[in-house]
Copies of this chain bind each other. A is one copy, B any other.
Amino acid sequence: MSELSTKQSHIMEYIRDFIEEKDYPPSIRDIQFGCGISSTSVVDYNLRRLEEKGLLRRDREVSRGIELLEGRRRRGTVDVPVLGAIAAGQPIPVPTSDRWASDVEDTVTVTEEMVRGHDNVFALRVKGTSMIEDLIDDGDIVFLEPATTADDGEKVAVWLEDRGEVTLKRLYREQDRIRLQPANSTMPPIYVDPENVRIQGRFISSIRPSG
**What is the interface of chain A, defined by CB distance below 8 A to chain B?**
22-25, 27, 59, 63-68, 72-77, 108-111, 113-118, 132, 135-137, 143, 204-211
B24 pairs with A65, CB closer than 8 A: yes
Contact of B115 with A210 in the complex, beta carbons under 8 Å: yes
Lowest 10 A-B CB distances belong to which pairs?
Answer: A74-B74, A205-B210, A23-B67, A63-B63, A135-B135, A24-B25, A64-B64, A113-B209, A109-B111, A204-B210
List of B residues within 8 angstroms of A117 by Cβ? 210
Known contacts: A74-B75, A116-B210. The answer to whether A66 contacts B110 by CB under 8 A is no
Find out whether the CB atom of A23 lies under 8 angstroms from the CB atom of B77: no
A208 CB contacts on chain B under 8 angstroms: 135, 205-206
B residues near A113, Cβ cutoff 8 Å: 209-210
A interface: dominant SS: loop
Docked-complex contact B24 and A66, CB < 8 angstroms = yes
State which of B74, B135, B136, B206 has its C-beta within 8 Å of the C-beta of A77. B74
Cβ contacts A to B, 27 pairs, < 8 Å: A22-B65, A22-B67, A23-B67, A24-B24, A24-B25, A24-B59, A24-B64, A24-B66, A63-B64, A72-B74, A72-B75, A73-B74, A76-B77, A77-B109, A110-B110, A110-B111, A111-B111, A114-B210, A117-B210, A118-B210, A132-B135, A135-B135, A135-B208, A204-B210, A205-B209, A206-B208, A207-B207
